[in-house]
Amino acid sequence: MNDRRSTARTPSTRSRRGVFAGLATAVTRWTGSTSGFAVALGVIVVWALTGPIFHWSDTWQLVINTGTTVVTFLMVFLIQRAQNKDGIAIHLKLNELVAAVKGASNRLIDVEDLSEEELKILQRHYRRLVEMASEDADISASHSVEEAEMRHGEKADRRLATREA
């Protein structure tokens, strides 16, 4: 008998994660909506209006401080989750475009997973591309570093041949 526990997710684990993900998505959408802002504004207005009733007490102030601290703490995680999800979606869309476009450099697929040093190397290559393209009259003539280098070399050879003739 195998004593190892299965690493597969059980249906209840998947459903709990699905419920949490759905709740997080709904809360993120709602808090970014006009009605979410209106509710937040309403809470602040009600709190401010109750100040005289509670004689501007420390407890009255503590209520809003505690409430806003808790909401801010939770919103940090919801915002980060939304940004992570959006970032992944954008990267996937860009990867699809790079993979689909003829002449696009496939080295850019999953470029976000490269090390900082690898990104700097690619950045230097693309700076070269910009420099070469700026020398051309038609800035859209180059599509990749390799194409740009090839075209740049061909143009230089033509110019040299024209001068020699």
Q: What is the structure's pLDDT at 13?
A: 65
Q: What is the structure's pLDDT at 6?
A: 47
Count of Cβ atoms closer than 10 Å to residue 148 Cβ: 21
Q: What is the structure's pLDDT at 159?
A: 79
Domain segments of the chain: what residues? 12-100, 109-165
pLDDT band for position 3 (cuts 50, 70, 90): very low
**pLDDT, tens digit (0-9, with 9 covering 90-100), for 72-82:** 999 999 999 99
Q: Are 78 and 28 in contact (CB under 8 A)?
A: yes
Q: Quote the percentage of the chain above a pLDDT of 70.
A: 85
Q: What is the structure's pLDDT at 153?
A: 81
- CA-angle at 135, arms to 131 and 136, nearest 5°: 120
What pTM did the predictor assign? 0.59
Q: Which residue has the higher pLDDT, 146 or 3?
A: 146
Cα distances (Å, whole numbers) of residue 53 to 42, 43, 45, 59, 68: 17, 16, 14, 12, 21
150 vs 152: CA distance, rounded Å:
5
The conformation of residue 102, written as its DSSP 8-state character, comes to: T
Q: What is the mean pLDDT of the chain?
A: 84
Q: Are 145 and 105 in contact (CB under 8 A)?
A: yes
150 vs 60: CA distance, rounded Å:
72
**pLDDT, tens digit (0-9, with 9 covering 90-100), for 81-135:** 999 999 999 989 988 888 888 777 787 888 888 899 999 998 998 898 888 777 7
56 vs 64: CA distance, rounded Å:
12
